[in-house]
Chains A and B, each alone.
Chain A
Amino acid sequence: MADFVQLLVSGVSQGMIYALLAVAYNITFSTSRTINFAIGNLLMMGGVVGFSLYIDMKTGQPLGRSFIIPFMGVLVVGSILGAFINKFAVEPSRRMKSEYGSALATLAVGIVLRNLVERRWSTDDYKFLSPVGDSPIRIFGAGVYPQEVLIIAASIFIVVALETFKSKTVLGRSIQAISEDRVTASLMGINPGFIVGFSFILSAMIAGVAGLLVAPITLVSATMGTVIGIKAYAVSIIGGLESGYGTIVGGIILGLCEVFTARFISSGYKDTTGFVFLILIILLRPNGIFGRKVVRKV
C-alpha cells in the first residue's frame, strides 16, 4: 500500500513539474502559433539565477536572504529574456512569415543561454537547499518532499490564475482573440505584435519561476532544463497546446506512466510508454485531450 502511494506521489509530483513548464509552452503557442524551444533553458536560467541569489556557491549554504529576493530576481530575468527572445528571435521570423524560422531561432537562443551558463557560471551540479526543508514528510508511509507540495500547489495556482486571466481581463481576452482569429482580432483594434510580445514575457517568467521551484528537486546545472523541456513539450501536446487544465492532466499522465513502467515493466522502458501514449494522442486526438478542434476557413 505504502509502495503504491509512493509511486502515485512520485508520478504526480514529477508530472506537475512537467505541467508547470508545459503552461509556458502553451501561452506563446496560442498567440504566435509557434513553439518557443528556449523554454527548457529559460527554466534552467530560473534555477541558476535563483540559486545565485539564494545560495552561497562555495559553501552550498543559504545566504540567509528571504526567498522573495530570488523570486523577484527570477521574474526580472525572465521578463528580460522573454522580451529579448521576442524581439530578436520571434519578430524577425514573423516579418518573414516563417514559423519554422521562429522555432529554430528560439532553439538557438536556448543553446546560447546554456553555453553561456556553462562558460561563465559552472558545468557542475549544485544542490539547492529547499526553503521549506529537504526531509520527506510521511503520508500513508510514502515520502513526499515539502518542495513537491509547493510545486503542486504552485502549478495549480498558476494554471487557474492564467485561465481566469484569459477569460476575465481585457488583456487576457485579447490573447484569446488573437489565438482564435488573428486578422479579425487586429481589425477589432488588438495589436498582435504587442500581445505576442506580452505572451513571450509572461511565458518566460513562468518558465523561470518553474526553474526556481523545481531546482531543489532536480539540482541546479546548465543542463537541468534539457530533459524537462522535452518532456514538458510532450505534455503540452498530450494535454492540448491551448488548454491550461490539459497540461495538468497531461503532466500527471506522463509522470504516472514513467513510474509505473519503471516499477512494473522495466526501468529501461521508463520513458517509452509516455511517448507511445504521445504518439497515440497525435494519431487519435491531434489537438490533445483537452484541445478544441479549430476549423480553419481558407
Chain B
Amino acid sequence: MNNTHSLFRKKFLSAFALLLLAASSMATAEDVKFGIYGALSGGTGPLGQSMKNGVELAVEEINAAGGILGKKIAIVFRDDEAKNEKGAQVVQELLDKEGVVALFGPTNTGVADASTRYTNKRKVPQFISVSAGAKVNELFKDSPENYVFRIVANDDIQSKVIVKEAVVARKFKKPAILCDDTNFGQAGRERLEKELAAKKITPVYVGKFKIKDTDMSAQLLQAKAAGADVILGYGIGPEMAAVSNSMDRIGWKVPLVGAWTLSMPNYINNAGKNGEGTSMPQSFIEAGKHTPREEKFLSAYRAKYNEKPIQSAIAAVQAYDSVYLLKAGIEQAKSFEGAKVRAALENLSKPFQGVTGVYSKPFNGKDHEAMKESHVKVGVVKDGIVVPKAN
C-alpha cells in the first residue's frame, strides 16, 4: 500500500502547489491599476481634490458591482503640486513603476502639456477631466495614435457659449472684453474675439488686468466710455470678483458673462452681492432640478465625502463620467490593452449615458473631445449659488 500512499501524497502536493500558484497570482491577476494625478494644493487644489474624489467614487461603485471584465480596480494617486516638471515625473512613475492601465488627470494645463507625451509613448489611455486648455486634438499631429481623451467643455466651446449667450440669447450689441494677462486669460480673449468676429461684432473695448489687481475702475471706466452694454470676462475667481466689485464702485452695472471659473467659490464669495446675475457656461449645475442619473451621483458623492456644496461639482462629475466612459471602452474591447481600448473608444457602439449628458460616438480617430456645445448649459449666480439659467 506504499504505492497508493505515495500517489496520494503526490496528488496532494501537486494540488497544494496549484493552490499556491493561484494564490500568488491572485493579487496581480485580479487587480488592475488606474493612476490619478493632479494638484491638491494651490489655486487649482479644490479642482484636483474634487477630480480625485470623482474618480474614486466611480471606481468604488464599479468594484462593488464586480469590477471591469471581472477584475477589481485599484487606484494609485500622485500629487503633481501643479508643477509641470513634477507632473512629468509622476506620470513616468505611474506608468513605469506602478504599471497603471489608464490615467486620469491632471488639473493644470501646463502639467498636462508637459506629461501627455509619456502617455502616448506608452500607449496608455488618459482622461483629462479638468484642464480646459490642455492640448488634446492638437496631439494627433505628432502622434496619430493619440491616447489622450478629454471630457471637459474646452476653451473653444466655452467662448462659443459665452458669445452666444451674450449677443444671441440676450441680444447685447456692444460687448467689452476684460481678461487677465495669463495664458489662460489671453487665449480666452483671442477665442472670444474670434467668435465675435464670426458674428460680425467688434468689441467696443478690450482690456486686461494682472493677477492680484483689485481695482479695475480704470478699465471699466474706459469700457463705460466706449458704451459697452455687457462685459465678457476670462479670468479666475479673485480678479473677476474685483471686476464685479469695481463696477459697484464706479456706480455702473452691466451684466458679466465669462468663463466657467465664475462658478467657483472664490468668485462668488468675494464678489458677494455684486456677483449676482453673472453667468457662465457649465457642464453640470449642482443646484436646481436633477435627472435621476444626476440625483444618484449627487447623493452618492455627498454621502461619501460629506460635502455640500461640492468644492468643484464640475471637476467631480466630469472625472466620474470619465471613469465610466473608459469602462465602456474596455468592455467593448474586451481587453485592458491600451491600443485595443483606444480603438474601442474611438468607435463606441453604444451611446454612453453619463451624468453630464448622453454621448453617442463621443470620440473618433480625429476628435478626442467628448463634450460638445450641446452638453453645456448656462449657469447664473443667484443668492450666492449657481443655478440653471431660467428660460
How far does the alpha carbon of A145 sit from the alpha carbon of B245 in the complex, in Å? 11
A6-B221, A6-B250, A267-B207 known; A14 vs B215 contact (CB < 8 Å): yes
A123 lies within 8 A of B43 (CB): yes
B contact patch SS = helix
Residues on B with beta carbons closer than 8 Å to the beta carbon of A7: 217-218, 221
A267 lies within 8 A of B249 (CB): no
Question: Is B222 at the interface (CB under 8 A from chain A)?
Answer: yes
A10 lies within 8 A of B217 (CB): yes
> What's the least CB distance linking A227 to chain B, in Å?
5
Of the stretches B136-144, B265-273, B298-306, the one at the interface is B265-273
Residues on A with beta carbons closer than 8 Å to the beta carbon of B193: none
B contacts with A, residue count (CB < 8 A): 31
> In the complex, which of the residues A118, A145, A267 contacts B218, with contact meaning CB atoms closer than 8 Å?
A267
Chain A 122-143 interface mask (CB, 8 Å, partner B; 1/0) = 0111110000001110100111
How far does the alpha carbon of A162 sit from the alpha carbon of B300 in the complex, in Å? 61
B209 lies within 8 A of A267 (CB): yes
How far does the alpha carbon of A119 sit from the alpha carbon of B81 in the complex, in Å? 12
A262-B218, A270-B218 known; A127 vs B269 contact (CB < 8 Å): yes
A118 lies within 8 A of B266 (CB): no
Residue of B whose beta carbon sits closest to that of A228: B212
How far does the alpha carbon of A3 sit from the alpha carbon of B237 in the complex, in Å? 26
What is the total of A-B residue contacts with beta carbons within 8 Å? 90
A224 lies within 8 A of B212 (CB): yes
A3-B225, A142-B250, A271-B210 known; A127 vs B272 contact (CB < 8 Å): yes
Residues on A with beta carbons closer than 8 Å to the beta carbon of B224: 3
> In the complex, which of the residues B41, B238, B249, B272 contacts A143, with contact meaning CB atoms closer than 8 Å?
B249
Which A residues between 1 and 42 are near B, CB-CB below 8 angstroms? 2-3, 6-7, 10, 13-14
How far does the alpha carbon of A84 sit from the alpha carbon of B214 in the complex, in Å? 31
Interface of B with A (CB < 8 Å)?
41-43, 45-46, 181, 207-210, 212, 214-215, 217-219, 221-222, 224-225, 237-238, 241, 248-251, 266, 269-270, 272
Interface of A with B (CB < 8 Å)?
2-3, 6-7, 10, 13-14, 60, 118-119, 123-127, 134-136, 138, 141-143, 145, 217-219, 221, 223-224, 226-227, 258-260, 262-263, 267-268, 270-271
Sample (16) of A-B pairs whose CB atoms are under 8 Å apart: A6-B249, A6-B250, A7-B217, A7-B218, A10-B217, A14-B215, A124-B43, A136-B248, A143-B217, A143-B249, A143-B250, A217-B214, A258-B218, A259-B217, A262-B219, A263-B219
